Amino acid sequence: MSDILLEVNDLKQYFPIRTGFFKKTPLKAVDGVSFTINKGETLGLVGESGCGKTTVGRSILRLYEPTAGQVFFEGEEVTKSNINSMRKKMQMVFQDPYSSLDPRMTVEDIIGEPLDVHNLYSNKKERREKILELMNYVGLNSEHATRYAHEFSGGQRQRIGIARALAVDPQFIVCDEPVSALDVSIQAQVINMFEELQEKLGVAYLFIAHDLLVVHHISQRIAVMYLGKIVEMADADELNENPLHPYTQSLLSAVPIPDPDIARSRQRIVLEGDVPSPLNMPTGCPFRTRCRYATEQCAQECPSLTDRGNGHMSACFNK
């Protein structure tokens, strides 16, 4: 049997934007993304705001209907007709713990809703036991069950969201920047909890974030996105120590290092210019307008993601 749990092939997500009285232009939020995730693995997806990371996660779960491409889960294609049954296996933890929880529902009802939708209990007693077990998993007390979301801190609200995602016993969870809205001390607790849950339950993650330190800590592999395309993908340590793509090199040079001597000796790679609009993409390589290595070939052709050895993929003609 294959170890591949999720396979994404040439996923595209275009949003029609009105740019004139009778004219609509496609905004290419995700433009031909492909990757696989193995059982029990964490793939980190990083990139600056607006590059299409969240759209990838939402398109996989069909919260957005993809424009083109295929998603396979355990060898079966995810389609409009079977997505409801697939939702038991694939879940999502949303970025904002403040807006992703219904303020009119108690914690018990929020966590119990997936159990109700998929009929995962035979009586009220079993439902209550499952909810308390899930709360215990994520470090919440049983007396929290009757409270409402506004009575909790940001970290506790995110734990409620994680318990809700775990309620259906999924094999795969899209974590959409689950710690970006939290304090740094709480971030560490939530990330450690994700790792413990992975060890206990064997769940696989697509971990979306823009903090490279967080992603490197939790992920086995990392994919770097820029303007709707994956520009580099490799094992976490390999990407950290030997980045090939100029964009990845720039991102890593911006990561703060606590040792002042190393920080002073390191060269910061500052990108020039602004990110182009996805409504008016540059020809050829999407990164060429900000790249110091750009050539005439980069303006005419878009480099494909190719293997540079040991599964280290990079989309660049010059590196």
Residue 73 lies in a domain: yes
Rounded to 5 degrees, what are φ and ψ at 113?
-60, -45
Helices first, then strands: H and E counts in the chain:
11, 12
Identity at 196, one-letter amino acid code: E
| CA separation for the pair 239, 300 (Å, rounded) | 27
Q: Is the pLDDT of residue 1 over 60?
A: no
What pTM, to 2 d.p., does this model score? 0.91
305-318: average pLDDT = 90
> What distance, in Å, lies between the first and last C-alpha atoms of the chain?
36
Q: How confident is the model at residue 45 (pLDDT cuts 50, 70, 90)?
A: very high
Provide the residue range defining the domain that includes 200.
Answer: 4-89+170-314
Residue 284 lies in a domain: yes
Work out the percent of the chain whose per-residue pLDDT is above 90. Answer: 65
Q: How confident is the model at residue 92 (pLDDT cuts 50, 70, 90)?
A: very high
Residue 158 lies in a domain: no
Q: How many CB atoms lie within 10 A of CB 128?
A: 15
Q: Is the pLDDT of residue 247 over 90?
A: yes
**Which tens digits make up the pLDDT trace of 183-238?**
888 888 889 999 999 999 999 999 999 888 889 999 999 999 999 999 999 999 99
Residue 261 lies in a domain: yes
Instruction: Give the sheet arrangement for strand 42-46, strand by strand.
Output: 90-93, 172-176, 204-208, 42-46, 221-226, 229-235, 313-314, 306-307
* HSE-CB for 149 with a 13 A CA cutoff: 20
Looking at the structure of the chain, the number of domains it has is 1
Q: Mean pLDDT check: name the lowest of 61-75, 192-206, 258-272, 285-299.
A: 258-272
Look up residue 277 and give its two tokens: 């609009």
Q: How confident is the model at residue 319 (pLDDT cuts 50, 70, 90)?
A: low
Residue 210 lies in a domain: yes
Identify the pLDDT of residue 175.
95
Residues 6+ positions from 156 with CB-CB distance below 8 Å = 140, 144
Residue 108 lies in a domain: no
**Average pLDDT value for the chain:** 90
Residue 98 lies in a domain: no
**Which tens digits make up the pLDDT trace of 53-81?**
999 999 999 999 999 999 999 999 999 89
Residue 294 lies in a domain: yes
CATH of the domain at 27: 3.40.50.300
Q: Is the pLDDT of residue 263 over 80?
A: no
Q: How confident is the model at residue 258 (pLDDT cuts 50, 70, 90)?
A: confident
